[in-house]
Structure 1
Amino acid sequence: MKISAHNLGLALLILCLMQMASQSALVKAIGDTFSSAQIVFIRGAVGLLLIIPFVWRYRFAALQFSNLRLHLLRALFGVLAMACQFFAFARLPLAEATSYSFTMPLFLTFLAAIFLKEAITKTIWAATFAGFVGVLIISQPGRVDLELAGLIALAGALFHAVVVVLIKKLSALEPTITLMLYFPIVAVIAFLVPALSTWTQPDLLEWIYLILIAALGVCSQWCFIEACRRVHTPLIAPFDYTRIIFAGVIGYFFFSELPSLLEVSGMLVILASTLFITLLKGKQSKSSETTL
């Protein structure tokens, strides 16, 4: 059975978002024990070990220097985004931290229009803002003050949006393995000293959690880069909102966080906006998309 490039990209994007939600839950589970710097450092170090065999397989062809500046910028903003998100997930309820991260699609929609010169249709704008309304319904921001962790979560969302734009640019120029290589290198270098200065020795179970965080990070990164090659950038924005559903399910089963009726209503708004824009985009591109 043939799968269109567009639909494959959407499937990879969904898989990526599921992995990101699982990673967030693991970070929350150990966030009180380890500093964000240590988690980011171990994420980078273990991730690099997982990537090296693929670099070796391609005989180090992944070490491309023609777009080094963009690679370093993408890696730097990616590391900053990850550090901000890990900090927020460790200190805020999972649903609240995830809700703050959903400001990323709004940043992304603007950045894609400005830097990638991508046309943003009224439908995509509507779906993006409808999804954001769903996020507001879930998070109910008027109930709590926007504390430091919330501000850091918002900064992480902005950095994440910049990463998406840079990946979109680089994915047309470089192989996926090259895009994945620089990120853990920068993470290890940037957080070596902060991690060592706050180091807490993990036990066996905690090492398993940390390794799973790194493995999920590498897998979600690969899925996301491959999805970016196939999916129109503005479509990523409303689709990213489905992550709140995965976070809600994980929060219920692992942290006993039972969503209220209002939160469920917000999830349904998010799901409806995502399905609407996805079906519309698929219909528009049906005649022109290539098959694999």
Structure 2
Amino acid sequence: MHPEIDNPARAISLKVSSVFLFVIMASLIKVASEEVPPGEAVFFRSLFAIPVIVAWLASRGELKTGFRTTSVRAHVFRGLIGTSAMALSFAGLAILPLYEVKAIQYASPLFVVVLAALMLGEKVRKVRLTAVFMGLIGVLIVLWPRLTAFTDGSADEKLAFGAMVVLSGSLCAAFAQIHVRRMVETEQTAAIVFWFSLTATMLALLTLPFGWAVPSPRAAVMLIGAGLIGGVGQILLTSAYRFADTGVIAPFEYASMLFAVGIGYTVFSEVPTAQQMVGAAVVIAAGVLIILRERQLKLQRGKARQIVTKYG
């Protein structure tokens, strides 16, 4: 294996660092959402990530690659789905505790498995199917206190709505991942990263007539910081996959729950219930099972290719 690829310790450190930065970014958005609507938050998050991404591409000599594309339509469509996911996530952050938003967002990899079967024709065998059902049960455990608010007419209907918003965002994020799987066949990673930030910025501007607010200096600093930190987090995440396979890195995504619980408790005085933590643990276990299964299948496919190459 190439020495740059075979460096799991570096890959994991980059992944965990990116996860931590994304939780910090979400925390900043949560604070700023007290003053600005989700569309405005998406604008700041996307706009101020662009200079960071451009500087990174320039340092790697990939600036021309970042601008080059073979399908503008594909990037626009990816922007529409990804921006919707981001806006719904930010809307949920304004309503729900930070840790709960993260727990619900863990449903996204489960949706990816289902959508890959429906849209890409991928086979879903017993292990992954079991993991999906297990994960959905975990999501239901997390959501159940919110769902009952719709039926008993309690004052928590706003929280229930917030949970549905975040879940919808997770579904949009899954659609975006499926679309990116198709895009990587013809588009460079640098182009996908750059054009998404630019497209999201432009799409967010369309929400301007729907009630943007002039942020206070404190909120403006939070929003700009979220954009810059989000850009750095994206770079660290992208870089992590240069040093190890997905199967090695992906499970560390779930470190975000530890960060979210810690920051939520320290900054927002949020304390998760036992039921929510149990549900989150079930979803995490299902996600790790899917990741391990994907890694096993990848190894099997690799061995099959070696056999075909050697004896075919």
Deviation readout 1:213-268 (Å, 9 max, x if unpaired): 11332244345556789537xx97x9866644443333222212122333333343
In structure 1, the residue matched to 2:306 is: none
Q: TM-score, normalised by structure 1?
A: 0.79
Aligned to 2:262: 249
User: Which residue is equivalent to 1:51?
Assistant: 53
Classify 1:15/1:70 alpha carbon distance in 2 versus 1 (closer, same or farther; 3 Å).
farther
Deviation at 1:164, TM superposition (A): 0.6
CA deviation string 1:85-141 (max 9, x = no partner)? 111111223334334434423331121123333332321222232233223323334
Could you tell me which runs of 5 or more consecutive residues in structure 2 were left unpaired when the two chains were aligned. 151-156, 304-312
Q: Which moved more, 1:53-62 or 1:154-163?
A: 53-62
Q: Which of 109, 122, 127 is the matching residue for 2:126? A: 122
Q: How many residues align?
A: 286
Which residue number corresponds to residue 73 of structure 2?
69
Offset of 1:185 from its aligned partner?
1.5
- Residue of structure 2 in register with 1:110 after alignment: 114
8 Å CA contact 2:85, 2:169 repeated in 1: yes
State the alpha-carbon separation in 2 of the partners of residues 90 and 114 from structure 1: 33
Residue of structure 1 in register with 2:230 after alignment: 217
Asked if 2 retains the 8 angstrom alpha-carbon contact of 1:171 and 1:225, the reply is no
Shift of 1:286: 5.2
Structure 2 CA distance for aligned equivalents of residues 261 and 152 of structure 1:
23
Distance verdict in 2 for CA 1:143–1:77, change over 3 Å? same
Map residues 189-268 of structure 1 onto 2, 5 A cutoff: 189-192=202-205, 194-195=207-208, 198-203=212-217, 205-222=218-235, 230-231=245-246, 243-268=256-281
Taking the aligned partners of 1:103 and 1:212, their CA distance within structure 2 comes to 27
Structure 1: distance between partners of 2:39 and 2:126:
41
Give the equivalent residue in structure 2 for 1:22: 24
Report the alpha carbon displacement of residue 52 of structure 1 after superposing the two structures with TM: 2.4
Instruction: Please give the residue correspondences for 1:75-224 in structure 2 after superposition, counting only pairs within 5 Å.
Output: 75-140=79-144, 141-145=146-150, 147-192=160-205, 194-195=207-208, 198-203=212-217, 205-222=218-235
- Mapped partners of 1:119, 1:5: distance in 2: 31
Which residue is 1:273 aligned to? Answer: 286
CA distance in 2, matches of 1:153, 1:253: 23
Percent of aligned positions that are identical: 25
C-alpha distance in structure 1 between counterparts of 2:287 and 2:12, whole Å: 11
CA 1:159–1:278 in 2, change beyond 3 Å: closer, same or farther? closer
TM-score, normalization: structure 2? 0.75
Q: How many angstroms apart in 2 are the aligned matches of 1:80 and 1:16?
A: 22
Q: Is the 8 A contact 1:36 1:83 kept in 2?
A: yes
Helix, strand or coil: the match of 1:215? helix
- Partners of 1:281 and 1:190 in 2: how far apart? 34
- Please provide the CA RMSD for this pair: 3.6
**1:192 to partner: Cα distance:** 2.4
What displacement does 1:48 show? 1.5
* Letter aligned with residue 231 of structure 1: T
